[in-house]
Amino acid sequence: MTVETQNQSPLPSRHSVRNCIEGLVGRDVDLDDGMPPPAKSTNAVAVYVTDQLKTSALVVVDLECAARIGGALGMIPRGVVDEAIKARTFSQDLEENCYEVLNVMASVFNLPNHPHVRLYELYAPNAAVPADIAQLAATVGNRMDVKIKISGYGEGTLSVVIK
């Protein structure tokens, strides 16, 4: 008997997303129902691809979420993170730390009998996002939209979109 491989990544559970982030940042993380982040240039968009370089999934985080997960990973004081959010800027430290969290989040898509995926590109806040990726980020359907709260750092919005 042969086991067929599914041709798309599965939508991860909230539990796996929460555990992944919580395990990385070392702080309690809560997820609640949320809305998709509005299409803004300050969103960060992580693009995950298969081994054949086919886009498989996206994780879209608003500036608040990106800064808070980056700050929590790097133990950057909350005041510094809040100032970056207020100024609508993203320091290199916050970007690198956010990248690391979103890179490891590829693990929530890599389940048996599904394609292996990896982080291909992170479009940081204020970076130009290709039109096809922006369109996929706005897709209604196979997605999870949550409000994330990181203990000691605050809230943001995170969306997982499966192609």
Rounded CA separation 49/74 (Å): 26
CATH code for residues 16-161: 3.40.1550.10
Dig out the tokens for 23 from the structure: 């395990």
C-alpha closest to that of 59 among 128, 117, 126, 114: 117
Distances (CA, A) of 78 to 39, 96, 138: 25, 17, 30
Rama region for 140: left / alpha / beta (φ>0; ψ in -120 to 50; rest)? beta
The total of other beta-carbon atoms located within 10 Å of residue 102's CB is: 23
Main-chain dihedrals φ then ψ at residue 122, nearest 5 degrees: -115, 115
Contact 48, 119 (CB under 8 A): yes
**Tens-of-pLDDT digits for all 163 residues of the chain?**
334 457 788 899 999 999 999 999 999 999 999 999 888 999 999 999 999 999 999 999 999 999 999 999 999 999 999 999 999 988 899 999 999 999 999 999 999 989 999 999 999 998 999 999 999 999 888 999 999 999 999 999 999 999 9
Q: What is the pTM of this model?
A: 0.93
